[in-house]
Amino acid sequence: MDIDLQLFKNIMAEARHNDDLLDSFSPNQFKSKERLINHIRDLLIVGTNSEIVILGGWYGSILIPAFKEVKRITLIDSNKEVISIAKNRLFNHYNNVDFITSDVFHKDRKGRIQNANLIINTSCEHMRSMKELELDTEAYFAYQSNNMLKIEGHINCVYDLDDFKKQLPDNAKVLIEDEIKDDRGTRFLLIGKYDKSNI
């Protein structure tokens, strides 16, 4: 097992005064992201030449280390403070990660997103439907949402997998669907691929 001691030290130093960072490593966060990571690994769609974009990525706490072997990871989040901490205090020793403070739907971000091999969004409940990205790409995607309507900031929850699928664009083909039970509700996972021919 390859342990990143520098990252561990960075996390420990920051977590002493940052409960929000600790929450990003909660058992529920680990459980849902581990399921996503394992499905992606099983599909064999990520390699050293891959470029991954993480939408609404928070600190990138679990996903960035999980895919650290790839060519490039771009994390986009609208929270300036979170991005600053991730860039300058947590992953400052990673040379293959770009951090962007922005709304993921901003037109200037579209090129970066659609040029990725894999688009990850584990925060679909916090933003508009992925259908609104209108991507012209053949990238794979891994999206998560949930039915936790009472949590602050959850503006776009779904009731089940079928409801979640309605938020995908017409050119998205689902390869894997999964449900992850949480002590607050259920997280829904859709993994698939965009098909340019069906735009």
pLDDT computed for residue 197 by the predictor: 62
What pLDDT, on the 0 to 100 scale, is given for residue 186?
97
pLDDT band at 3 (very low <50, low <70, confident <90, very high): confident
> What are 60-74's pLDDT values in tens digits?
999 999 999 999 999
The three-point CA angle 84-86-87 to 5° equals 65
Report the pLDDT value the prediction gives residue 135, as an integer from 0 to 100. Answer: 87
pLDDT band at 198 (very low <50, low <70, confident <90, very high): low
Q: Please state the pTM of the whole predicted model.
A: 0.94
Q: Helices in the chain by DSSP H: which ranges?
A: 5-15, 19-23, 27-43, 63-66, 80-85, 110-114, 161-165
Mean pLDDT of the chain: 93
- Tokens, residue 158: 């779904």
Structure tokens at 190: 């859709």
| Residue 199 clears pLDDT 70, i.e. is over it | no
Give per-residue pLDDT as tens, 78-132. Answer: 999 999 999 999 999 999 999 999 998 887 777 789 889 999 999 999 999 999 9
